[in-house]
Structure 1
Amino acid sequence: MMRHLWAAVIWGMIFVLSGCGVPPEGTAGSDDDAFVQAVLADYPQLKGKPYSVDQVKRVVDGDTFETASNNKVRLIGVNTPESIGKIEPYGKEASEYTKKHLSNRKVFLFTDTGNTDTYGRLLRYVFVEGERIMYNELLVREGYANPMTVPPNVMYAKLFVQAERSAREQGKGLWAAGKKPGSSTGVSAGTNNEAADSTCANPEIKGNINARKEKIYHVPGGRYYEQTVPEQLFCSAKEAENAGYRKSKE
């Protein structure tokens, strides 16, 4: 009789403990998993990519922040004007925008191909809990950042260029009247050679920064034109050169 009683007690404890366990990440029914599935529906290229969940502890500037787990994160594919040291036009505004949207928020951090940059910062696509638009994209779409593609992390290069074009057409942020942003159409900060509204509707010259940090532009028909993922787009060679790019030798 006693043996049966102890057996019942043990099985009861096992049942209670198994019911109280925390579901592992990715288990159906968890809030995190439901959010991740919604993100993957909107950004299917991220399927199968590793991700982590963290909390933003401190925003460094518009495109960089530190997490509660003491990692420094750099947003993939975008670049905001400098807000520290040599302050650039709209740098403070971009920094404040990111502080407002990310400070103390729970974030989902997805990888591309490369894991860290030369400074040891994690390179990530960032999603704020409950907000299905990628924060990298949002920064560009609202006019607080420009695309900056650094291979091998090129998954959303075209998306960011399209987002910048949308911000420019709507006059948002950097593109508001009177601003002189570093742009994907060759109107760079501090350059007075051509007005922002003189750019063409379909810029075809591709500007790219290689591994040696050289700024090179490629014209249609060039050897590397088709395979180049642009960080900036220009309407003319003059625009590219005004932005500090040199023509590709091939």
Structure 2
Amino acid sequence: MKKVFFALFFSTLLLSACTEETDTNIMESEDIQGIAATAKETAEKHDISKFEEYDLQEIIDGDTIRIKYNGSSEKVRFLLIDTPETNHETLGEQPYGPEAKEFVKKLLEGQDTVYLEFDVSYRDKYKRLLAYIYTKDGISIQEQLLKNGLARVAYIYEPNTKHVDWFKSIQETAQKSAVGIWSVEDYVTNRGYDKDAYNAAVKENKEESSTRNDENSCVIKGNINSKGNKVYHMPGQKDYKNTVAEEMFCTEKEAKEAGFIPAKQ
């Protein structure tokens, strides 16, 4: 059975950017700001002295940015990770896509440049640049996306596998903690993200919550007194708190049908 596991800071919807289908995102914009702020303070600062610095032009989504490269405006695809889509021509917006993009924005907030670490091959089949991305402070964007459950390790193609073991270890920890994309069973697949599985899991979780709420609404106490009389007590009545219930009822009708009579006060 699919379950939705809510981590400490995963509570409700994201931004108003959610589509009518994605009444399902469970991370708020305030959460993203807080997570990014914590990352800036606590993340490992890597040595970027040997990496190239480039002008940052645009954050396209959670795993793609645009930079000024050798005089031209070019897209850079983050190596070895994949974040949910924000505006894909066929997949549309996927849960946690806007969050991933917002997270990258917050990590790079106030910075007009980024540092790129290239692997062996510089470009993919779409002619996009491929790189590991770092802030001026040496924070690895890929590392933080994986750590906070906003990306999965993916697109592992030789010869660009320099950091694959490192990234997989970070992902394993996020999976065990059930954060972000890992908080919903079956949402992450080997092919990407299953929006239908996500929505189904959230729907089931809501139904279970509704059932629990209904059960909790059965507050009428049925008690058999010392004379053997079957009496039911309503919340707010004099002896309600001290009454030990042999049975609980949701409605007075149920209590009466079970042979109980109302308490006098």
What is the TM-score with the length of structure 2 in the denominator? 0.49
Give the drift of 1:183.
4.6
Q: Does 1:84 align with 2:91?
A: no
- Runs of 5+ unmatched residues, structure 2: 1-44, 202-265
Residue 117 (structure 1) aligned to one of 124, 143, 152:
124
Q: Give the alignment of 1:169-188 within 5 angstroms.
A: 169-176=176-183, 178=184, 180-183=186-189
Cα distance change of structure 1 residues 53 and 187 upon mapping to structure 2, 3 Å threshold = closer
- Runs of 5+ unmatched residues, structure 1: 1-37, 41-45, 196-250
Give the drift of 1:60.
0.6
For the pair shown, which has the larger CA radius of gyration, 1 or 2? Answer: 2
What is the TM-score with the length of structure 1 in the denominator? 0.52
Cα distance change of structure 1 residues 127 and 172 upon mapping to structure 2, 3 Å threshold = same
* In 1, Cα distance between equivalents of 2:122 and 2:68: 19
Give the drift of 1:58.
0.7
Give the drift of 1:102.
2.4
1:101 aligned partner:
107
Preserved contact between residue 143 and residue 170 of structure 2 (Cα < 8 Å):
yes
Q: Does 1:56 align with 2:56?
A: yes
> 1:61 corresponds to which letter in structure 2?
D
- Please list the CA deviations of residues 55-108 of structure 1 after superposition, one character each: whole Å capped at 9, or x if unmatched: 322111100001244221111100001111222221111111112222552211
Q: Does 1:139 align with 2:145?
A: yes
1:160 aligned partner:
167
Tell me the number of residue pairs that the alignment of Structure 1 and Structure 2 aligns.
146
Q: Give the alignment of 1:18-57 within 5 angstroms.
A: 39-40=46-47, 51-57=51-57
> 1:78 corresponds to which letter in structure 2?
I
Cα RMSD for the two superposed structures: 2.8
Cα distance change of structure 1 residues 165 and 59 upon mapping to structure 2, 3 Å threshold = same
Runs of 4+ in 1 over 6 A off after TM superposition: none
Preserved contact between residue 94 and residue 193 of structure 2 (Cα < 8 Å):
no
1:239 aligned partner:
none
Give the drift of 1:181.
2.9
> 2:53 corresponds to which letter in structure 1?
V
* In 2, Cα distance between equivalents of 1:168 and 1:133: 21
The higher relative CO (CA closer than 8 Å, separation ≥ 6) is in: 2
Q: Does 1:127 align with 2:134?
A: yes
* In 2, Cα distance between equivalents of 1:103 and 1:121: 23
